[in-house]
Structure 1
């Protein structure tokens, strides 16, 4: 399970990583090239993945393409192996990593993160017609999780112990049992769960809050402070003018980019 850090620590890590913005030349380099090259794992729905036509799509893709328009540069996607993505960034194979990357203390020693743009983590879902309104009402209930995922540990951290935790090969199989009434809840990664629920409108809802929290950020090289600041400004503007909320509703059925809801 990924190491979880507080939102205050996340913000500190993000804001303290960059310096000498005007002098580093990173923004000018990108503008001169006319493109922002972004590294990603292209098999991570709904953040970034290939559709039936082999086109790279997703929440991060839409958000980055909008930033590219506002910066006046083309977005170029560079699929890469996730286990070496930070090494590839620092080897200058691309300009940043924008792909649902969790901000951790260990990673923040190697890259400079943007502010969090989505608070991810594990949530609990139920059928739309169920009466439960909080995590503590899942005590003694049947809870489904994907085998080998962080959801298993999160399910064990519920305020009141579940009566049974069932492991499934895939999240869709768990949701099928939830819909059929064979489960009382599915604990799942927030972005994955919201994506699945958006595809099945009216069937499921998430209980309020997070069982665990993990913030997503965009990773830049430590020296590229000017580029990081420019991208951050456009994201801040997109949150303020509702663009990020619109993109979020397309992929998740609701706005998960609003920091006041984290």
Structure 2
């Protein structure tokens, strides 16, 4: 597996809605209503969140049909601490961004790269994750460098930062766009494409359960963050960020991170979330020295 220091850049709603009762502990309904009234939301007292059903380990649907994953659990805990409920609506990555721009949602809860281009349309919290971009092939594949994918069919999720990466860094490849990761991996397994480009955490999840391998691993240029409406409530954005920092301080964040990830926490993420430094010092999650 080849690791390079080059950094990569990262519509409709499916009618499946789940309501999670995430009110803060110890307060009655009157207190919860008072808390919720502080924020400008699509629905009063409820965070309307767009998510995905198949973006492991950030956002997936469990056996009971409920959204879960690292991003979802992090959001649920932040909302609970703010005394708010979260209503999830399942869509695609493009649907999340388009829905936020159209004012349908308050927030996107998935692994969404906070790119400069996307910041023109939506607001972002401070990144809560920083990882890698991986090129996957079948286990029988022998490629270990990007040039070996010249003239090969390389799949990406439409609208993802990995699509931008392929267009800029694999210019001689033949990009093939898919609506979601399920369709992307299905085509890789069936031989419809020669490779798939995914975020590192998602790639690791597929490597653990499918006959695929990581051919090339590259550092990400930007972290994953929660996208929010440009015309949304800046206080809500700040308070969600504050709750994530509080989770870092009390160990909740590290517990969730260990549940979903095995890699050390990226130095870039510690730069964005400085409180992580003391949490990972002298642990296996400390960034590796280059």
TM range (shorter): 0.5 to 0.7
C-alpha contact (below 8 Å) 2:39/2:235 kept by paired residues? no
Residue segments in structure 1 that go unaligned for 5+ positions in a row: 6-24, 126-136, 159-166, 176-185
Distance 1:198 1:239, change over 3 A: farther
Paired residues for 1:3-22 under 5 Å: 4=9
Q: Where does structure 2 lack aligned partners over 5 or more consecutive residues?
A: 1-7, 11-34, 137-143, 171-175, 177-182, 190-195, 271-286
Residue 53 of structure 1 is matched in structure 2 by 64
Count of aligned pairs:
224
- On the 8 A contact 1:198/1:253 being kept in 2, the answer is no
Please tell me whether residue 86 in structure 1 is matched to residue 101 in structure 2: no
- The TM-score, its normalising length taken from structure 2, stands at 0.56
- Per the alignment, residue 245 of structure 1 pairs with 254
1:214 and 2:219 correspond: no
Deviations 1:62-111 (A, max 9, x none): 11111112111122212234324333224332211121111122211121
Q: Name the CA distance, whole Å, in 1 between partners of 2:249 and 2:208.
A: 24
Structure 1 residue 225 displacement after superposition: 0.7
Q: Secondary structure at the match of 1:226?
A: helix
Structure 1 contact 195–252 (Cα < 8 Å) conserved: no
Q: Which protein is richer in helix relative to its size? A: 1
Displacement, 1:35?
2.5
RMSD: 4.8
The Cα shift of 1:232 comes to: 0.6
Q: How much has 1:44 moved relative to structure 2?
A: 1.9
Specify the alignment match of 2:236 in structure 1.
227
Alignment partners' CA distance in 2, 1:50 and 1:30 = 28
1:252 & 1:219 partners in 2: Cα distance? 22
Distance in 2 between residues matched to 1:198 and 1:27, nearest whole Å: 44
| Whole-angstrom CA distance in 1 between matches of 2:153 and 2:198 | 7
Structure 1 distance, partners of 2:63, 2:101, is 32
Is the 1:245–1:257 contact (alpha carbons within 8 Å) kept by the matching residues of 2?
no
After superposing the two structures, state which structure 1 stretch, 98-107 or 74-83, moved more: 74-83
TM-aligned CA deviation for residue 174 of structure 1 = 8.0
1:53 counterpart SS class: coil
Q: Which residue of 1 aligns with 2:84?
A: 73
Deviations 1:170-212 (A, max 9, x none): 669989xxxxxxxxxx975211133345669xxx9999972x4
Q: Distance in 1 between matches of 2:207 and 2:62?
A: 18
Cα distance, 1:213–1:49 mapped onto 2, change above 3 Å: same
- TM-score normalised by the chain length of structure 1: 0.61
Asked if 2 retains the 8 angstrom alpha-carbon contact of 1:145 and 1:188, the reply is no
Distance 1:59 1:221, change over 3 A: same
Q: State the 1:250 CA deviation.
A: 1.0
